[in-house]
Amino acid sequence: MHVGVLVVGGSLTGLSAALFLGMHGVPCLVVERRDGILAHPRLRGLLPRAMELYRQAGVEDEIVSRCPVGAPPTDLVSVHARTLSEEHEPLTEPEDGGADAEQVSPCGFVPIGQDELETVLAQQVRERGCDLRFGTRLTDLAQGRDGVMARLRGPDGTEETVEADYVIAADGASSPVRRRLGIRSSGPGTLFHMVTMHIHADLSPALRGRRIGMAYLGRPAPGTTLGPLDSTGTRWFFATAVSSGSSGDIASEDPAAWVRAATGLDALDVRLLEQVPGAGRIFTFPVGARVADRYRVGRVFLAGDAAHLMPPTGSLGGLTGIMDAHDLAWKLAFVLRGSAGPALLDTYGAERRPAAEQAMGQAYARALLRWRLPGHGGGCTLLPTSVLMYGAAVPEGAPGTRAPHLYVSEDASSPMSTLDLYGTGLVLLVGPEGDAWESAAHRAGQRLSVAVEVYHLDADLAGPHGLTNGSALLVGPDGVVVWRCDGRRGDLDGTLERVLRDLLCR
């Protein structure tokens, strides 16, 4: 069997890669060794940038509709206190300080659990023709000049060899593929262990009428978090730091006592909910911070936690994996269909690795503050989340930043954003008097057999993009500005062709 792209790991990053590849018309095979989606508590929310990428793929509404606390969750409050019963305390982490989310994005924060999210993604990728196989493990991998031979073992033990043009290793923090490729990781390493569990408990005496999105509590350990699993007010996600991750040590603890300490309700009746039958009710994981030294060996690419691990502070881990998947998907699609040269794939690691190092540094600094660990801030200046996601607090069309978001249509039920112009191809935005650019883009596109869509922005939209008479802005499929030209000068055809050749490594 031959496939264009084999994705190893069918969790958040692997399923997102399959979704984005599908958006570009590239079918793929996804193998996941687990029998189904992991229901244990992990990611509890998606930042707006992740939702922007899912919006491009047409799954934003489906994800929001599966949000268990109801959507839009505008009345949820964040609580920072010693216990849930006590009054608000000053934050250990500084306020984000970024731009107003509504000002910079058509998407908001969506408090969805990773299991619900992956259920949506799995269904969507299958509907779009992806071959998603649960219970199937990659057991061996060998690279040749023209492809990768992958050995797979199916649920009934049968072995199969698949030949792939490219492999995405989205096989998690312990990535067997990364180890096999001999790629090392660098960073502070493991900080401590954390337990998470789902519980059933009536917390109304401590909630006092509040509808909470997330509570950050000081008991039984700093950085304890509690959040709703649904809108019943009785099913909760709970996480706290523990001194040891050994199962023997955890078994000797009393999980109900952790919850009573966190809520300040000494007589609280707490029931642990079963997540995965037979897989235990308490999930333990190391909180760590590291980034792989390389993202690529030959035709195999690391993505998601396989490439970078970071503490959950800041909700950046899953987002960084989703952004990897999106970046790699468009680059693989362009190379596979011959629109770009193979060297475009080298830009994946060159761009995504520094982004992961920055996100890891920020998550690590926030973790030191939240868990009150020594090494205040880790020597790193905290940046607003919007800067991490967009490259600027308020994007204004500078190269390397996400293009600005402005509403184009007034339709209140589904307003269209300028971000809806991006996704699968290259876009040239031109301001007033942009006709010459449009003709140049058409001719350059024809010569290179690459589609470049041109949009003329009126003065209201052109201004916030920094577009004046005769200027132009080239935006990539991820919505990031790759080039701008302030003023029409000289040989437009030649200029644009050079820019496209550089961008696509032609």
C-alpha closest to that of 132 among 40, 305, 15: 15
- Closest residue to ligand FAD, based on beta-carbon distance: 304
Cis peptide before 205 (omega within 30 of 0): no
Site for ligand FAD in 127-146 (CB under 6 A): 137-138
Q: What's phi and psi for 50, nearest 5 deg?
A: -65, -40
Query: 243: exposed, middle or buried (C-beta count within 10 Å: 0-12, 13-18, 19+)?
Result: exposed
Buried b (16+ CB within 10 A) or exposed e, 317-348: bbbbbbbbbbbbbbbbbbbbeebbeeebbeeb
The DSSP 8-state label assigned to residue 255 in this structure reads H
Smallest gap from Cβ 248 to ligand FAD, in A, equals 21
| Contact between residue 337 and residue 329 where contact means Cβ atoms under 8 Å apart | no
Q: Answer yes or no whether residue 315 interacts with ligand FAD by CB under 6 A.
A: yes
The DSSP 8-state label assigned to residue 240 in this structure reads E
Q: Which region among 8-16, 338-346, 398-406, 436-444 touches ligand FAD (by CB under 6 A)?
A: 8-16
Site size for ligand FAD, by CB under 6 A? 34
The answer to whether the Cα torsion of 217, 218, 219, 223 is positive or negative is positive
Beta bridge partners of 32: 134
Nearer to ligand FAD, 171 or 420 (CB): 171
**Options 6, 22, 29, 42; binder of ligand FAD; rule CB under 6 A:** 42
Nearer to ligand FAD, 317 or 477 (CB): 317
Q: Which region among 172-180, 228-236, 240-248, 348-356 touches ligand FAD (by CB under 6 A)?
A: 172-180
- The site map against ligand FAD for 90-129 (x = CB under 6 A) is ------------------------x---------------
CA pair distance 337, 146, nearest whole angstrom: 15
Nearer to ligand FAD, 45 or 404 (CB): 45
Q: Answer yes or no whether residue 9 interacts with ligand FAD by CB under 6 A.
A: yes
Q: Looking at this protein, which amino acid is placed at residue 463?
A: G
Nearer to ligand FAD, 196 or 424 (CB): 196
**Options 79, 239, 368, 427; binder of ligand FAD; rule CB under 6 A:** 239
Q: Which region among 26-34, 89-97, 122-130, 492-500 touches ligand FAD (by CB under 6 A)?
A: 26-34
- The site map against ligand FAD for 412-451 (x = CB under 6 A) is ----------------------------------------
Cite the beta strand spans of 154-270 per DSSP E: 159-169, 185-200, 212-217, 224-228, 235-242
- The site map against ligand FAD for 275-294 (x = CB under 6 A) is ----------x---------
Q: Answer yes or no whether residue 45 interacts with ligand FAD by CB under 6 A.
A: yes
Q: Answer yes or no whether residue 299 interacts with ligand FAD by CB under 6 A.
A: no
CA pair distance 439, 444, nearest whole angstrom: 9
Is 216 one of the annotated active-site residues of the chain?
yes
Quick one: three-class SS letters along 410-463? CCCCCCCEHHHHCCCCEEEEECCCCHHHHHHHHHHHHHHCCCEEEEECCHHHHH
Q: Answer yes or no whether residue 312 interacts with ligand FAD by CB under 6 A.
A: yes
- Which residues are catalytically annotated? 216
Interface with ligand FAD (CB under 6 A): 8-9, 11-14, 31-34, 42-45, 114, 137-138, 170-173, 176, 196, 239, 285, 304-305, 312, 315-319, 321
